[in-house]
Amino acid sequence: MQQAREFQHLLDAVGQRVLNGGDLSFEEALVLIGVEERADILDLLARANRIREHFKGNKIHLCSIINAKAGACPEDCKFCAQSAAYETASPRHALIEPEAVLRAATEAKANHAQALAIVAAWRGIGEGPRLDEICRCIEQLARSGTVRADASLGIIESQRVADRLKAAGVVCYNHNLETARDHFPNICTTHTYDDRVRTVRYLKNAGIRVCCGGIFGMGETRRHRVEMAFALKELDVDIVPMNFLNPIPGTPFERMPPLPPLEILKTIAVYRFVLPRKEILVAGGREVNLRDLQPMMFLAGASATMIGNYLTTTGQDPKKDLQMIQDLGLDPDWDGHWEHDPRETEAVISASV
């Protein structure tokens, strides 16, 4: 009882502080993520919901992705169905034509998505014909004015590459830290956490919005989860995608035990406390891990989600997602301050030719 009172006292104090624009400390985040009592967890979610409402209102940011180049990736990320190192049933194909991207953009728009990210399974992107080809595709998407042109093309090899992507019309680029620095070598050995941080810095220097988060349920500790939240805070990223491992047969993580739904919701809530003004986007794995508790991701502080299919797995029917959002009294028509503005994109492209 005494412990419960102390937790309530802390929750009141830190909740009010964050609402007033203050910060949660690392130690406080560890206390919040360590809470075990069901009633306390639900109180934590309610506080996180208040913080979301305060900073994000009732708007929900939706985005979509297209797997523009699938499979046969030379990297060895242990969660990934697209690594050439593992035998999986995931599709493999070369870079798709711009027309297919434009069709996906139309579908994304019909699903109320504000953005379509062109995603490619490869290590990353440097200068050369591949960059030229992808930039042409991005330009077509950006000029179409359908949805915001986003991308996720792996490690960016130089500042010039990031600048080229910006000039082509990329508004937001996804590149995750994936997990905490200390845990990263258990996830991947073919590139480093610092490779990923460097890419984020190139993007920021280029003026591209950064979508950067990770995957939970990969054997990390709660402390690792908090460490990643603070690393993202320090990098000052714009969108924080939170994926929850959906173990893929054939990958080294195929038998990783799933995170319980309340643990997932608690983690989302702590991220809202640490990153109160950011878009917190629940992405891959929500359907299989949260199941019927999916609506609670917004009540735990999420302000965004992916709609449509994922890279190698199927998402929930977009109509069901939109219904879920509306049933919660939330609004899927996001009008964030950096929403895609076709005139701005046109100006950037024109200035670069």
Instruction: Identify which of 287, 291, 289 has the alpha carbon closest to the alpha carbon of residue 305.
Output: 287
Decide: 172 and 208 in contact? Cβ < 8 Å: yes
Query: Of 18 and 239, which CB lies nearer to ligand SF4 in the complex structure?
Result: 239
Least gap, CB of 231 to ligand SF4 (angstroms): 18
Least gap, CB of 167 to ligand SF4 (angstroms): 24
Least gap, CB of 154 to ligand SF4 (angstroms): 5
Least gap, CB of 16 to ligand SF4 (angstroms): 39
Query: Of 68 and 268, which CB lies nearer to ligand SF4 in the complex structure?
Result: 68
The 3 state secondary structure assigned to 78-99 is CCCCCECCCCCCCCCECCCCHH
Report helix, strand or coil for 107: helix
Report helix, strand or coil for 137: helix
Take residue 169 and report the two structure tokens written for it.
């019309």
- List phi, psi (to 5°) of 259: -75, 140
Query: Of 172 and 348, which CB lies nearer to ligand SF4 in the complex structure?
Result: 172
Query: Of 15 and 154, which CB lies nearer to ligand SF4 in the complex structure?
Result: 154
Report helix, strand or coil for 159: helix
Take residue 125 and report the two structure tokens written for it.
């992107």
Least gap, CB of 187 to ligand SF4 (angstroms): 9
- Site of interaction with ligand SF4 (CB under 6 A): 73, 75, 77, 80, 82-83, 121, 123, 154
What string of DSSP letters covers 1-68? -HHHHHHHHHHHHHHHHHHTT----HHHHHHHHT---HHHHHHHHHHHHHHHHHHHTTB-EEEEEEEE
d(CA 291, CA 216): 16
Contacts (Cβ under 8 Å, ≥6 apart) of 112 = 62, 307, 318, 322, 332, 333
Query: Of 79 and 334, which CB lies nearer to ligand SF4 in the complex structure?
Result: 79
Least gap, CB of 181 to ligand SF4 (angstroms): 17
Query: Of 90 and 294, which CB lies nearer to ligand SF4 in the complex structure?
Result: 90
Query: Of 31 and 72, which CB lies nearer to ligand SF4 in the complex structure?
Result: 72
Least gap, CB of 73 to ligand SF4 (angstroms): 3
